[in-house]
Amino acid sequence: MDVPETSMNECCQLVKENSIEGCKLASVKVVFTPWDNLRKDKTSMDIGSIGFHDSKRCTYRTISKDKSILRVILRTKSSDETPDYRKLRIERDEKERQLLKRERKGALELAKRE
């Protein structure tokens, strides 16, 4: 994988911290695999469990809790408020309409000059 080492460590820390069982343990084994290697059988698997098509494509990393990394990550965490997506979409569409209007006006003025 071509993910920087610092990003991998931060991801591992988040996985450990947000795991129900993992946050209680001293160290945890984290599994990395491409998404197309994941397998889910609805009939035979419990909720929350997954399998792999090819276990050779999995990479493992044992991680211990690093509070300094978690503090930095949690400091950058935004509030839990969900943004008003409808309002944001309307604002973005309006900006795009204004931009298109300006472009059309410019093209008409250029055509009139010619």
The residues facing 28 across adjacent strands are 63
b/e sequence 75-106, b meaning 16+ C-beta within 10 Å: eeeeeeeeeeeeeeeeeeeeeeeeeeeeeeee
53 and 109 in a common domain: no
Number of domains in the chain: 2
CA dihedral angle for residue 84, residue 90, residue 93, residue 99, rounded to 10 degrees = -110
Boundaries of domain holding 42: 1-77
What is the rounded distance in angstroms from the CA atom of residue 114 to the CA atom of residue 107?
11
The whole-angstrom separation of Cα 113 and Cα 22 is 70
pTM for the whole structure: 0.57
One domain, residues 68 and 19: yes
Provide the residue type at 41 as one letter. Answer: D
Q: Same domain, yes or no, for 41 and 54?
A: yes
Each residue's pLDDT tens digit, 60-107: 999 998 888 888 888 887 666 778 899 999 999 999 999 999 999 999
55 & 29 share domain: yes
- In this structure, are 20 and 1 located in the same domain? yes
For residue 80, the model assigns a pLDDT of 65
At residue 103, the pLDDT reads 94
